[in-house]
Amino acid sequence: MSSGNNHARQPQALQLLLDVGSSRCKWQLLGASQRPAGVEIQTGSLEDLRAALNTSQAAGACVRSAAGICVAAAGQREAVDDLLQSACGLSLQWLHTESRVADLRCGYPQPQQLGVDRWAGLAGAHSLYPHDNVILADFGTATTVDFLAAGGQHLGGWISAGLQDGLSALRQRLAHLPALSGSSNAALLAAVAVAPGENDANLAASDTRSALVHGSLHAQAGLVMQARAVAQRAGWPSCRVLLTGGNAQRLLPLLDTDVVHQPQLLFVGMQWLLRHSS
């Protein structure tokens, strides 16, 4: 009886997966048998992360392992290391881009030049669709498009200004227009929402604010359509098109219905890399 009671009192072991980006932190706290695809992503500052860890531990859970990726400044990584040590007594395992992990091969001759966030996304895509050609579009602070051949060979990709940066640049150049006076990116995007199923006629804007937003959105969606055309010309008869990143949801109404939204893709990839890295 005593042994059974002791076992029942064992704290739940959690794994922390952390994405430290250039604009925010995202994380998941996973139980022993959980996979990222079905778990909500939490977002916030480092203090928000500390509060989430404290709440989990107060509820009887214990963070046993922690791993993450970072594309922010080095100082941010050090701040995360200090937080994990003070909150959980853990050293966080930082993942990095490698030339090869299992059958996933980096397409860059110098793998360290490929952002680790892109590498984690590719790992997630490969883990979900190992036998398919994949176009992966990540609509984050920057927009990236990567080509992953069936079997795990990364062929390279593109980097473009993200939706928010593109809008900011246009607003700065067009600040003299009365229609844009005092407008923020958030206000423009909120005021000119694109609904699923809108056709091209409805998307032909008839005012400056709408034209700016729709033009910016279509420019982002055009990267995906151009990537698909390039892949077909290169000899891919078919491919999966995966969308991830904070702005992906805004692009879905403008793209074909066969694209797949995978908001947890980088976390899926992080867990795959942890299982397969030497």
Catalytically active residues, by annotation: 117
Structural element, H or E, at residue 67: strand 61-70
Distances (CA, A) of 271 to 69, 123, 127, 241, 264: 11, 9, 10, 21, 11
Looking only at the bridges linking them, the beta strands covering 134-139 and 142-149 are antiparallel
Kindly report the backbone phi and psi dihedral angles of residue 155, in degrees, each rounded to the nearest multiple of 5, phi listed first: -105, 0
Cα 43 from Cα 61, distance rounded (Å): 20
Helix, strand, coil distribution of the chain in percent, nearest 5: 45, 25, 35
Asked whether the beta carbons of 180 and 171 are under 8 A apart, the reply is: yes
